[in-house]
Amino acid sequence: MNIAFRVANSLFTLYMLAILLRWLGPWLSLEVESGRLRWIARLTDPLISRIRRLLPAMGPVDFSPFAALMAIWFVREVAKGVLAGPPAGL
């Protein structure tokens, strides 16, 4: 496998995990707003806040982290297709 392919896939996956930690942090009693894990909030808040502005208000539930996960997943899949190159038979 191509090294760029592996690095890109790993970085996207790590960013998705950071979004999950940011989203589930309050339920897991993780202090992502302050303390030692505040770097997670600083890393993920720019994307989540942009998506939050685009989504309509849906009551007490915030779907922006879920939408961010889906967006990152889509970009990761497109990047994997681009970095993998054409199929071997072509």
Q: List Cβ neighbours of 67 (8 Å cut-off, separation of 6 or more).
A: 51, 55
Token readout for 49 is: 């806040």
Q: How far is CA 53 from CA 20, 35, 86, in A?
A: 19, 26, 37
7 by Cβ neighbours in 10 Å (0-12 / 13-18 / 19+) ranks as exposed
- Give the pLDDT band (50/70/90) at residue 89: low
Residue 64 has pLDDT above 80, yes or no: yes
Q: How far is CA 60 from CA 5, 56, 57, 63, in A?
A: 39, 12, 8, 10
pTM above 0.85, yes or no: no
pLDDT tens-digit map of 33-51: 777 888 888 999 999 999 9
pLDDT tens-digit map of 1-36: 578 778 888 999 999 999 998 888 888 887 777 778
Residue 72 has pLDDT above 80, yes or no: yes
